[in-house]
Amino acid sequence: MEDVSDPPFRALCKEQGADVVYTEFISSEGLIRDAAKSVIKLDIYEKERPVGIQIFGAELDSMLQAVDIVEKSNPDIIDINFGCPVKKVVCKNAGAGILRDIPLMVKLTEAMVKRTKLPVTVKTRLGWDTNSIKIVEVAERLQDVGIKAISIHGRTRVQMYKGEADWKPIAAVKNNPRMHIPVFGNGDVDTPEAAVRMRDDFGLDGAMIGRASIGNPWFFKQVKHYFKTARHLAPPTMEERVEAARRHLQMAIDWKGEKLGVFETRRHYTNYFKGIPHFKEYRMKMVTSDDAADVFAAFDEVLEKFGDFQFA
Ligand SMILES: Cc1cc2nc3c(=O)[nH]c(=O)nc-3n(C[C@H](O)[C@H](O)[C@H](O)COP(=O)(O)O)c2cc1C
């Protein structure tokens, strides 16, 4: 997830049970122009493997050059983003924009698969709009040109993030007798029960989890515990939350320096400490100072003040 799944966040998710993690999407055009904003996203830690690097674009040449650049970072997987609904991406036919030109989608994918020895996977949506959902056919064609797995978000581009994700067309992809690669479902897996439904009622091979993990890297462990026991794992204690926030901030600082590390970790705190009454004063301390020492001191204060708080 853009601006979310950087190496520190992915490392925390991995520690808490995620089986595979992916980078933020990276512009192929940015990579071939050596744009710092794109290049920094190639960084991966050994401890987060298996990890996929995700790229987007719609120009064949740029995508192939991007594959060569990505390979040098030695990820376990190269993932193609054919699902981003944002206007500035789709207007260039990239992301979900390519769902209006399936032959181009297949051609790009085939060329990228041929370019690399790494497994290539695709993340996409059901279709451009509800009148053009051909995901069963699209998935089969992508499989036939060599992708090793497909993740499908159960919404169309036109839907953006509105309404509910529809998992039925994803199950139709899985039930196509010609499909043999893993089919992962995505969209609205926000409880362990939803993950169980995706597995048992829809028969999918895995769940891709997005928003439910923001500020909640424990979600993966919670889902796995529920798979095993049909019981909910107790929510993380205050101590565990403070520890995660601390480690997140420290890894971010080590990775991109104090200024950026402090700034970019701020968006995670609200969720780490969600549900604590009268928390605003402490949250403000965490998100207003540019000085890491102040933020670490705020964490200590929170632990001292709310250490016994019982999370629901
Ligand atoms: C802040 C944010 C950034 C995202 N960035 C990406 C991205 O870079 N690549 C991608 O494949 N999907 C991205 N997505 C989409 C998610 O991967 C996922 O498809 C979508 O949120 C639905 O799944 P969820 O209900 O589990 O969140 C992003 C979503 C959010 C909320």
SS3 string, 34-55, reads CCHHHHHHHCCCHHHCCEEEEE
84 and 15 share one domain: yes
Q: Could you say which of 229, 253, 283 is where a domain stops?
A: 229
Classify residue 233 by its DSSP letter.
P
39 and 102 share one domain: yes
pLDDT of 312 reads: 85
Interval 228-236 mean pLDDT = 97
Q: Could you say which of 184, 210, 229 is where a domain stops?
A: 229
pLDDT tens sequence across 133-177: 999 999 999 999 999 999 999 999 999 999 999 999 999 999 999
| Cα 245 from chain centre | 19
174 and 192 share one domain: yes
**Mean pLDDT computed over every residue of the chain:** 97
The span from the CA of 268 to the CA of 311, in Å, is 17
The span from the CA of 154 to the CA of 243, in Å, is 35
pTM for the whole thing? 0.96
b or e along 75-94 (b: 16 or more beta carbons within 10 Å of the residue's beta carbon)? Answer: bebbbbbbbbbeeebbebbb
Active site annotation includes 13 = no
Q: From the CB of residue 185, how many other CB atoms can be counted at a distance below 10 Å?
A: 28
Which residue of the set 84, 94, 238, 252 is catalytic? 84
Q: Which domain holds residue 257?
A: 238-307
Q: Give the position, in ligand 1's atom list, of the atom nearest the Cα of 209.
A: 26
Q: Give the position, in ligand 1's atom list, of the atom nearest the Cα of 208.
A: 26
Q: Give percent above pLDDT 90 in the chain.
A: 98
Nearest residue (by CA) to ligand 1, atom 28, is 1
111 and 245 share one domain: no
119 and 202 share one domain: yes
Instruction: Judge whether 155 is annotated as a binding position.
Output: no
The span from the CA of 53 to the CA of 76, in Å, is 8
CATH number at residue 278: 1.10.1200
